[in-house]
Every structure is written in structure tokens, then in C-alpha cells.
Amino acid sequence: MRQETIENYLKTIYNLSSNNTAIVSNSQIAIQLELNPATVTEGLRKLHELKYVVYEKSYGTRLTTQGAKLALDIVRRHRIWETYLVKELGFGWDEVHEIAEELEHVNNAKLINKLASILGNPIYDPHGDPIPDEKGKIKKSNFIKLSEGLIKGNYTIMGVTDHSSAFLRYLEKNALIIGAKLLIKSIEEFDHSILIVCQKKEIIISSKVAECIIVQTND
């Protein structure tokens, strides 16, 4: 099994497991990696043999301590590259994910730590995702999804969970970027769409969009 393939599996399992706190199903991994279930099953068996995951066909998959350590290292590389591409090279936040997908497989701790130092050792990447430190530690936060927000609540956008270019361009078009402050005016009972005010402009966003925006309360 190629090292790049191993890393892709481990990072995917980590991201799907809510920071390694939940069991991940084969179907979730197959959808995320765009592979057929049989291929995923074979891959997980090999990762189980390598002691990176604990895999049980009827139960699901979780990372071992060894697997989680490598996954966090890959996540760190990816998010530091994204940050470097935006802050130092001028890429848009909607352009960097796919580039970082390639660069994350350059396994050179000295290089990554040097990039982090140049950037001022950031805690979050351009999408608001936390960056693990050298020891794999992640800063805890009390952030919530905007879909969990309350009417008349004041919030600041801290991150997004959908990194697709189309979604990020949609947010940028509506000034819903990292650091933007907003107020929830009302929540539609029928479809849970939300009427917000951001930069003095009223915007109606769907429940799907609200589910992908991470915020911090200002109250």
C-alpha cells in the first residue's frame, strides 16, 4: 500500500470521526475518497494489519494511537500549506484546498515547522480549521454551527466545514468570510432557513449553508 494512499485514508477517517471521537463506516469513507466499498474494505484490512486502524466489518473503523498520530501530522501539513498559500503567495481561500492535497504528502517536519514559524505559528488555517501543533495538540474552542444559533444572537464567523470552491465563492459573494459579524433575525419553522444581518445587509441562508458555517457567540 503506497504511503500516499495510507495518508489519504488516515486523514479521511480522522476528519470523518469528529477528531477521532466517533466510529466511521465504510460507506462514509468510500463516498469521501470516491472509491467503491470493496476497495475501501480491502484498504482498511491492510491498515488494520499495519496497526493504523481497528477495523471490524459490522462495527466500523477507528484510528489507533499510531494512526491518529500520523493523521494529525498530515492534517497539520495540509493546514499549514493552505495558510502559507493564502498569506504568503496570495491565493484565495477557495483555491488552496486541492493544492494542499498534493503538498501535504511532502513529509519533512523541518520544512513544515519552518513554514509555521514564518507564518507566526498560526492556530487556525484560512478556513478556520484548527492547526495541530508539533505534538499533535489542538486548541479547544467553544465554536458552534450557525444552524445551532439562536434568534437575536450575535455571532462571529470562525470557520467553515465545506471547503469546495463553489461554497467558498458563495460565502465571499455575500461577505460571509472569516471574522464577519452577524445577527440572526429569524429562523423559518418550515425549512429552518435563517434570516441574518451581516454588514447591514439582510441575507436568507439555507439550513444546509448554516450547517457548514462555524461561529462563536459575541454575547
CA distance 186 to 204: 9
Give the model confidence (pLDDT) of 35-79 as tens digits.
999 999 999 999 999 999 999 888 899 999 999 999 999 999 999
Contact 204, 193 (CB under 8 A): yes
State in words which class domain 81-140 has: mainly alpha
List where CATH 2.30.30.90 sits in the chain. Answer: 144-217
CATH topology assigned to domain 3-63: Arc Repressor Mutant, subunit A (1.10.10)
Q: Is 125 helix (H, G, I), strand (E, B) or coil?
A: coil
Helix (H) or strand (E) holding 171: helix 165-173
Phi, psi of 97 (to 5 degrees): -60, -50
Note the pLDDT of residue 35.
Answer: 96
Note the pLDDT of residue 58.
Answer: 83
Full-model pTM: 0.89
Unique residue bearing C-alpha cell 491565493: 91
CA distances from 81 to 106, 109, 191 (A): 10, 12, 38
Of the candidates 113, 123, 29, the one whose C-alpha atom is nearest the C-alpha of residue 77 is 113
List where CATH 1.10.10.10 sits in the chain. Answer: 3-63, 81-140
What does the block give as the cell for 31? 463516498
Give the model confidence (pLDDT) of 145-167 as tens digits.
999 999 999 999 999 999 999 99
Of the candidates 16, 31, 1, 7, the one whose C-alpha atom is nearest the C-alpha of residue 61 is 16
Note the pLDDT of residue 189.
Answer: 96
Q: Is 6 helix (H, G, I), strand (E, B) or coil?
A: helix
Whether 219 shows a pLDDT value over 80: the answer reads: no
DSSP states of 192-208? --EEEEETTEEEEE-HH
Question: Any idea which architecture 144-217 has in CATH?
Answer: Roll (2.30)
Give the model confidence (pLDDT) of 86-143 as tens digits.
999 999 999 999 999 999 999 999 999 999 999 999 999 999 999 999 999 998 889 9
CB within 8 A of 168, min separation 6: which ones?
Answer: 92, 93, 94, 127, 160, 162
